[in-house]
Amino acid sequence: MNSPLALALWLNGSRHPQHVVAFAGQQCFTQSDLIKDVQRIYDWLQRQPGQRWALCFDNSYDFIAALLATLHAGKTPVLPGHNREAQLREQQEHFCGVLSDNPLNLSCPVLNPQTLNYSAFQPFEPVPEEAGVVFFTSGSTGEPAQIYKTLRALDEEIAWLAALWGDSLRDCRVVGSVSHQHLYGFTFRVMLPMALGLAGDAAMIHFPEQLAARASHPLLFISSPAFLKRLDINLAAPQFKRVISAAGKLDDVTAQQALAWLKTPVSEIYGTTETGVLAWREHVQTAPEWQAFPAVRFTQQDDVWHVESPLIHHHHGQLDDILEFTSQGRFRLIGRRDRVVKIEEKRISLSEVERRLLALPGVEEAVVVPVTRGSRIALGAVVVAPTAQGACKQQWREALSAWLEPIAIPRYWRIVERIPLNSQSKRAWTQLQELFDETH
C-alpha cells in the first residue's frame, strides 16, 4: 500500500477527483465533493474572529470537511466528545463557536455547514506546521481534561498503524461502532481511512443488523468490547479484512465468540487519549500478550509505570495500569493503580474484587465502586446476572469470603440488565455511583 498521506495534504490534489472518500448508504462522497464542502466552511471561517472552534457532528463525512476547513483556516479544532447542549454550555469557555449538524441553542455562534452556499474555488492556505487538535478525556472522576495532539503526532501514529496493518487493508471500506468524536474513533474512522485512501462510513453503527447490512464490500470494522458482546450470530456476516477493538479490555470469551462469527481474529489496541496507541495484540488464542509499538518504551519507578513515545507531548507520560512483562518483552495488564482504595487502613484492589465476582456462577459482568455513607466507605457491586434470585447476594458474599477479607466483600449490591456505558463504550462512572444513592 502507498505511504499514508499526511493530514495537511489531504486536499492537495494528489488524489483523483472521483476518488471515493466516504459513503452513506448508497451515496458516495468523492474527493471533488470534499474539496467543495471544505471550501464553503473555510470561506466562512476565515471571516470569523476567534481561534478555537468546537466540532460536534454525528456524520463523519461532515466532520472531516469541518476539520479540514478549520485547520486550513488557521483555527484550532476542539472535540468536546459529545453533542449534548447542557454540557456544551458548561464547556463554552474552551471555544468561541461551534460547527455542528445538530440544532444547538448556545450563547456562542453555532453554524450548520449545510446552510452555507458553495463559493468559487480559491486555493486553501496551508495548514500551519504547529497545528493540532484539542481532545477531552472522559475520565473516571473529576472534570474532563484537555489534551492537545499535534498533527505531527497524529500523522506519525497513522504511519505506525500503516506499517503494521496497511497491506492487509487494501480495497476495504471502514465502518465503526465507536464515535469519531473521541481519539480512538478519530484515529481509526477518520485519520486512518483518509490517510490510506479508504472509503469511510459517514454513519456510526449502533446495532448488529446495521453491520450485517454492510455486506457489499470487504470491511475494516472499528469496534469495542461492548459491541462485540452484542453480535448476533444468527445474522449473515459480511467479509472482514480486519476487526479492531479498543476503549475497554476485551475478554477471552467475547473474543472467541466474536471470532466464530467474524471469521477473523480481533486485533486489540492499548493506549489512552494522552499517549495515543502504545501496544497491540491479536486474539488468535486465549490470553494473548501485548506487543508494544517499536518506538514505545516502558519503565517502572517504584509502583508507577512510565512510558516514552514520540506520540506523547514532551515524549513521556505516566500510566494508571499495572504491567507485568514476560522474558520476551511482551506484557500483560494485571490491574490499575487508580482502582485501589483504602478501607480501614487496608488497600483493596477493586479489579481483584471484580475478578472474583466474575468467577461466581451466573455473574456475566461486574463493576465495583467505593460507596461513602456518612464517614464510612464500603464497596458496592453492580452485577449483570440474568438468573439471579433473592438469595444470590448472600450466596455471593459467602463464596467471596473464601478469597477476600470481610472489608473487601461488597456491602451494597445492584443487579442490572447491563453495565452503564458512555459514548466511548467505557464505564459510565457517574451513573454507576448514582445507583448507590440512598434514594435507590
Gap between the Cα atoms of 436 and 416, Å rounded: 12
For residues 165 and 242, the answer to whether their CB atoms sit within 8 Å is yes
Gap between the Cα atoms of 257 and 251, Å rounded: 10
Gap between the Cα atoms of 149 and 154, Å rounded: 7
> Which three cell numbers, joined as nine digits, stand for 194?
483518509
Same fold flag, 205-337 and 344-434: no
- Cβ neighbour number for residue 114 with a 10 Å cutoff: 10
pLDDT digits (tens), the chain, 440 positions: 568 999 999 999 899 999 999 999 999 999 999 999 999 999 999 999 999 999 999 999 999 999 999 999 999 999 998 888 878 998 899 999 999 999 999 999 999 999 999 888 889 999 999 999 999 875 444 456 899 999 999 999 999 999 999 999 999 999 999 999 999 999 999 999 999 999 999 999 999 999 999 999 999 999 999 899 999 999 999 999 999 999 888 989 999 999 999 999 999 999 999 999 999 999 999 999 999 999 999 999 877 899 999 999 888 999 988 899 999 999 998 877 667 787 865 778 888 899 899 999 999 999 999 998 876 889 999 999 998 887 899 999 999 988 888 889 999 999 999 999 887 777 888 789 889 987 55
Gap between the Cα atoms of 219 and 188, Å rounded: 13
Gap between the Cα atoms of 41 and 417, Å rounded: 44
For residues 371 and 378, the answer to whether their CB atoms sit within 8 Å is yes
CATH class, domain 344-434, is alpha beta
Confidence (pLDDT) at 239: 97
> Which three cell numbers, joined as nine digits, stand for 180?
469519531
Domain ranges of the chain: 1-176, 205-337, 344-434
Does residue 354 come out as left (phi exceeding 0), alpha (psi in the -120 to 50 range) or beta? alpha
Confidence (pLDDT) at 205: 97
For residues 240 and 263, the answer to whether their CB atoms sit within 8 Å is yes
- Return the CATH fold of 1-176: Rossmann fold (3.40.50)
> Which three cell numbers, joined as nine digits, stand for 10?
489531504
Gap between the Cα atoms of 58 and 179, Å rounded: 8
3-state secondary structure of 86: helix
Gap between the Cα atoms of 293 and 291, Å rounded: 7
Compute φ and ψ for 358, nearest 5 degrees: -65, -15
Confidence (pLDDT) at 403: 82
Residue at grid coordinates 459517514: 202
For the chain, how many residues are written? 440
CATH code, residues 205-337:
3.40.50.12780
Specify the pairing of strand 219-223 against strand 297-301. Answer: unpaired
For residues 138 and 81, the answer to whether their CB atoms sit within 8 Å is yes
Gap between the Cα atoms of 353 and 435, Å rounded: 18
Gap between the Cα atoms of 136 and 271, Å rounded: 15
- Cβ neighbour number for residue 66 with a 10 Å cutoff: 27
Confidence (pLDDT) at 439: 59
